[in-house]
Amino acid sequence: MTLRIFNTLTRQTEVFAPIEPNHVRMYVCGMTIYDLCHVGHARFMMAFDVVARWLRVSGYRVTYVRNITDIDDKIIKRALERNIPIRQLTAEMTQAMHEDVAALGIEPPTHEPRATEYVPQMLAMISTLERKGLAYRAPNGDVNYSVRKFEGYGKLSGKSLDQLRAGERVAVLDGKDDPLDFVLWKSAKPTEPDDAKWASDYGPGRPGWHIECSAMSCALLGEQFDIHGGGMDLQFPHHENEIAQSEGATGKRFVNLWMHNGFLNVVNDEGEGVKMSKSLGNFFTIRDVLKHYDGETLRFFMLRTHYRSPLNFGDANLHDARNGLRRLYTALLDLDVPAIPIDWAQPQAARFREAMNEDFSTPEAVAVLFELAGDVNRTRSPEQAALLRGLAGVLGLLQQNPRAYLQGGAGIDDATIQARIDERAAAKKARDFALADQIRKDLLAQGIVLQDSPQGTTWTKA
C-alpha cells in the first residue's frame, strides 16, 4: 500500500517516495538543553518516533537525525546563573533528556549531533553564503543573512516578504540591513564566558541558531534529503530560515517533505485548552508527569490524537488514557500469546496499515486495537491476542507483561496483598462472607481490585 504524508511546504497530502530507493533520510529539530524536557518536547519526539517506526515497519532503512542545541543565549544564561561551565550544564541536561524519553519508549535516533561539534561546517556554510552575496558583515561584528536576496523566502510559511515585513514590530537594529535579516554568526560579547566563543575569520563568536540545523543536516544526510520535521512553532522563522540558508548555499532543493506536529495545550480550570507556557504557570516537565502516570500511559495519551492536531493536556485526559491502556492490557491478561508475525492481509491488520499509511493516523490505528481487544475478550484466542500485541508493538505499546503492568505502582507490597487474599479465602471457606466482602472493600479502597476465577484470586491496580 502507498504511504501518503501531509507536506507543510505544498499544503497537501502527497504520495511519499524517498530520493534513494528504500532509504529514508529524516532530520528533526531537537532540544535546546538548558532545562528539563517538558511535555511539549515529548510530543514532538513522540510524533517522529512513530514516523520512524512506521517507515521501518514499511520496509525502509531509516537514517534519523535529531540534533541537540548545546550553545544558545538561554544555555549561556543558565550556566552563568549556576556558576558552572556550559558543557557541564548541557551534559547534565542531555542525560536527563535521555532518561525522560526512554521512560516514554521513544527510541534513540540514528545520529544525535551536538551543535558545538559542527562549528567548522557552520562557518564553511556562512563563508559560502557570503561569497554568493547572501550574507554580510554588520558593523557590530555579526554576520547576517540578507533575506530579500533569496528568491522564494516565505514559501514554507506561505507569507510574502511584504506580509512578513508588516508583521515586524521592531526597527532595524544591530546593523541589520532589513528587520527580516537574521544572524548567522554572533560576535562575542565581553560579558560572555570563554566556553561560549569560537575563533573564526569573522572574529571570536558563536553560530546563530538557524545555521546549526542547516549545517548538521547537510553534514549527516547530504545537501538534499527526504523529510524534515519539528513542532509547528518552528515553521517560521526557524525552518523558513533553514531553507534560505541551505538552498542559498547549495543551489539545490533542501528537503522534499516538511512535517510539523500540532501544539500541546494545557486544560485550564474552565476546561479550555491554553498553550503551555512558563509565564502562565501551566508548565509541566516530563518528570512532573511521570510522578503520577507511567511512561506508557503518557505515550498512549499522545498517540490517541493525530500528530498534526492540537493536543489538550490535563489530568482528566491522562486518567482516561490510563484507563484505556489498562483495558487493552486486560485483554491480554493470563493468555499465552505466541510470537507470530503480523499477517497484513488480515482485515484488522489491513485497516491498521491503511490508517498509518494515511499520514500516520494513530487515532484510527488505536481504534483497531480496541476492536481487537474486544475480540480477544470474547474469544480468548491466542492468535487474535498475538495480532493485538503485534500491532500495538508497532506503536510502542503493550510490550510489557500484562499482569506486571496492571499490578505496577500499587503502593502496597505483593506479600501484604497476598496475605489479605489468603485471609479472604479462609473467611469464604469458613462462610464468613461479611469478612470476605470487607477485605475486598478494604483492598479496593487502597486501589487494589480482586478478580476471582476457578483457578483462584488474582489482583490488579485500580
Q: DSSP assignment of 109-139, as one string?
A: PSB--BGGG-HHHHHHHHHHHHHTTSEEE-T
Q: DSSP assignment of 132-171, as one string?
A: TTSEEE-TTS-EEE-GGGSTTTTTTTT--HHHHHHT--S-
29 in a known ligand binding site: yes
Burial degree of 461 (CB within 10 A; 0-12, 13-18, 19+): middle
Number of Cβ within a 10 Å radius of residue 367: 15
Q: DSSP assignment of 281-326, as one string?
A: T---BHHHHHTTS-HHHHHHHHHTS-TTS-EEE-HHHHHHHHHHHH
Q: How far apart are CA 259 and CA 162, in angstroms?
A: 25
238 in a known ligand binding site: yes
Q: Are 2 and 17 in contact (CB under 8 A)?
A: no
Q: Whose grid coordinates read 521512560? A: 103
ω into residue 237 within 30 of 0, thus cis? yes
DSSP state of 430: T
Q: How far apart are CA 199 and CA 188, in angstroms?
A: 10
189 in a known ligand binding site: no
Q: Are 243 and 215 in contact (CB under 8 A)?
A: no
Q: How far apart are CA 139 and CA 388, in angstroms?
A: 64
**Among candidate residues 322, 285, 270, 282, the one with its CA nearest the CA of residue 301:** 322
Residues of each annotated binding site: 29, 213, 238, 242, 278
Binding residues for Zn(2+): 29, 213, 238, 242
* Annotated binding-site members for ATP: 278
